[in-house]
């Protein structure tokens, strides 16, 4: 009961946030990024967290959604929702092929193979002509089928909806037979197989659900940014960011990915835009002309990826089970 109330409050806050905040494109943009990363990481969590299959190639599904949508839109001007649906189909096909190859492998091999598949997808997109190759695809339209693409709110609610659906599926799976089977597979594949669980069926099921959701997010991203190329939507860095978010929040927990995204995305943005340095100066903690102030203003911009690396290392060393792992009761 308490849980339902909490979720209701969270949902109400999320829904009303853009209205309360007003039209601030910068803040709304960051919130969209938070929701997108939370949803991506939650979708990954179904496969990685519950089935224990650590895919390092989720960028492939994100890219599949993004590319399918923009290619179909620019070439045939199809309905965006139809494009998204076809994107899901493409992602599922890639997932099925991937699954049939990589699910025979375990541990390190699985992770490495998933990288190889994603790299093959990336390089193919880069080499083909119809994908725009290295030039990427630019969507010139500012509105599509009555949706104003310049407005942030449709994307905010779109991402929120996908996140809600992903969390809903995760919550349902947790309590379902499939969920138990997936967790059995995570704990011990051989034991699960000996209990008569069809490993390949359930792993593929988790992968397809995860890939389909990831693909929808890719479509939304493509429509939101209106320009895609391989380095933005198919890069290994994206796959890693998704995993990092889940691990920092708490792998295999319902809310872990959300917590991870709420923390990491704003942090990355603050480091990127050097808001952190600005805030310290404004709060009067550091004088702008002092050596520290100058260093913060000048160098933090260069060092933000370094800081990101340090945070990653510290989290893995000191929070190996993620933030939610700290609070989880001992079973």
Partner 1 sequence: MKNKFVSIVAAALLVFPMLVQAAPVKIGFINSITGKEAQIGENLTNGAAMAIEDLSAKGIQVELVKEDDGGDPKNALAAYEKLVSRDNVIGVVGPYTSGCANVVASRADQYQVPLLVPAAAKEEITMKGYKNVFRLNAPANVYSKVLMDAVKVFKPKTIAYVYAATDFGVSTVKTAQENAAKMGLKEVANEKYQQGQPDYRPSLSKVKAANPDLVFLVSYDADAILLMRQAKEIGLAPKAFLGAGAGYTTAQFAQQTEISALVVSATQWTDDVNWPGAADFGRRYKAKFAKEPSYHAACAYEAMRIMAETASKSKNSAALRAALKTGSWSGIMGPVKFADYGGFTNQNNHPMLVQQIQSGKYETVFPAQFSKKKLIYPFKR
Partner 2 sequence: MSFFQPLLSGILTGGVYALAGIGMSLVFGVMNISNFAHGDLMMLGMYLAFFAFTLLHIDPYVSLVLIIPIAFLFGYMMEKVFINRVIHHPHQNQILLTIGLGLIMSNTALLAFTSDPKILTTSYSSSAFNIPGDISISVPLLLSFLITSVIIAILYLFLSKSSTGMALRATSQNREAAQLMGINVAKMSAIAFGIGTALAATAGALIAPTYYIHPLAGHSFLLKAFTICVLGGLGSVVGAGVGGIIIGVVEAMSSTYLSTDWKDVIVFVLFLGVLLFRPQGLFGKKGGQ
268 binds partner 2 (CB under 8 A): no
For the CA atoms of 66, 72, 75, 78, what is the dihedral angle to 10 degrees? -130
Bridge-based pairing state of the strands 227-228 and 137-138? antiparallel
Q: How far apart are CA 121 and CA 285, in angstroms?
A: 49
183 binds partner 2 (CB under 8 A): no
Nearer to partner 2, 126 or 165 (CB): 126
47 binds partner 2 (CB under 8 A): no
Q: How far apart are CA 208 and CA 115, in angstroms?
A: 17
Partner in contact with 161, chosen from partner 2, partner 1, none, beta carbon below 5 to 8 Å by kind? none
Chain position carrying tokens 């989290």 = 315
Nearest Cα residue to 207 out of 45, 68, 4: 45
Burial-class residue 331 by CB neighbours within 10 Å (0-12, 13-18, 19+).
exposed
Taking residues 182 to 221 in sequence order and writing x for each that binds partner 1 by CB under 8 A, - otherwise, the string is ----------------------------------------
Query: In the complex, what is the shortest distance from the CB of residue 35 to partner 2, in angstroms, rounded to a whole number?
Result: 23
Query: In the complex, what is the shortest distance from the CB of residue 20 to partner 2, in angstroms, rounded to a whole number?
Result: 36
Query: In the complex, what is the shortest distance from the CB of residue 38 to partner 2, in angstroms, rounded to a whole number?
Result: 18
Binding window for partner 2 (CB under 8 A); candidates: 147-155, 190-198, 204-212, 300-308: 300-308
Nearest Cα residue to 218 out of 137, 297, 284, 153: 137
Residue 137's φ and ψ, nearest 5 degrees, are -125, 130
- Binders of partner 1 among residues 4 to 33 (CB under 8 A) are 24-26, 29-30, 33
- Binders of partner 1 among residues 33 to 52 (CB under 8 A) are 33
Q: How far apart are CA 13 and CA 278, in angstroms?
A: 28
Binding window for partner 1 (CB under 8 A); candidates: 9-17, 125-133, 189-197, 322-330: 125-133
93 binds partner 2 (CB under 8 A): no
Q: How far apart are CA 303 and CA 81, in angstroms?
A: 40
117 binds partner 2 (CB under 8 A): yes
Residue 129's φ and ψ, nearest 5 degrees, are -85, -45
Residues 6+ away with beta carbon under 8 Å from 307: 271, 300
Residue 147's φ and ψ, nearest 5 degrees, are -100, 130
75 binds partner 1 (CB under 8 A): no
231 binds partner 2 (CB under 8 A): no
- Which listed residue (21, 305, 313, 314) binds partner 1 by CB under 8 A? 305
Indicate the SS3 state at residue 143: strand
Q: Give the pair of three-digit tokens for residue 104.
A: 């025979």
Binding window for partner 1 (CB under 8 A); candidates: 38-46, 84-92, 121-129, 188-196: 121-129
Give the footprint of partner 1 on this chain (CB under 8 A). Answer: 24-26, 29-30, 33, 123, 126-127, 133-136, 138, 140, 142, 150, 225-227, 229, 231-232, 269, 272-273, 288-289, 293-294, 297-299, 301-302, 304-305
Name the residues that contact partner 2, by CB under 8 A: 48, 54, 56, 101, 104-105, 107-109, 111-113, 115-117, 119-120, 123-124, 126-127, 240, 243-244, 247, 251, 299, 302-303, 305-306, 308-313, 316-317, 320
């Amino acid at each position: 009961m308490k849980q339902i109330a909490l979720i209701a409050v969270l949902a109400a806050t999320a829904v009303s946030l853009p209205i309360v905040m007003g039209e601030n494109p910068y803040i709304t943009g960051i919130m969209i990024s938070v929701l997108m990363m939370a949803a991506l990481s939650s979708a990954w969590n179904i496969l990685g967290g519950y089935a224990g299959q650590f895919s390092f190639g989720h960028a492939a599904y994100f890219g599949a959604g993004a590319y399918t949508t923009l290619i179909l839109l620019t070439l045939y001007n199809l309905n965006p929702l139809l494009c998204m649906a076809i994107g899901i189909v493409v992602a599922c096909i890639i997932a099925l092929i991937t699954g049939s190859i990589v699910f025979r492998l375990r541990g390190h091999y699985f992770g490495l193979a998933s990288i190889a598949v994603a790299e093959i997808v990336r390089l193919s997109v880069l080499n083909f002509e119809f994908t725009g190759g290295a030039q990427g695809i630019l969507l010139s339209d500012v509105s599509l089928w009555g949706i104003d693409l310049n407005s942030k709110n449709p994307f905010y609610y779109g991402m929120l909806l996908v996140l809600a659906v992903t969390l809903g599926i995760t919550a349902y799976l947790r309590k379902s037979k499939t969920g138990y089977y997936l967790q059995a597979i995570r704990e011990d594949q051989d034991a699960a197989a000996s209990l008569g669980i069809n490993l390949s069926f359930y792993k593929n099921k988790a992968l397809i659900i995860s890939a389909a959701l990831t693909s929808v997010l890719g479509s939304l991203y493509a429509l939101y940014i209106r320009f895609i190329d391989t380095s933005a939507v198919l890069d290994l860095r994206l796959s890693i960011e998704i995993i990092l978010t889940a691990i920092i929040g708490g792998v295999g927990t319902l809310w872990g990915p959300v917590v991870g995204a709420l923390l990491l995305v704003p942090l990355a943005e603050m480091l990127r835009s050097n808001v952190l340095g600005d805030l310290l100066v404004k709060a009067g903690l550091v004088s702008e002309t002092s050596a520290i102030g100058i260093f913060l203003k000048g160098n933090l911009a260069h060092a933000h990826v370094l800081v990101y690396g340090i945070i990653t290392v510290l989290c893995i060393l000191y929070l190996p089970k993620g933030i939610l792992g700290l609070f989880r009761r001992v079973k």
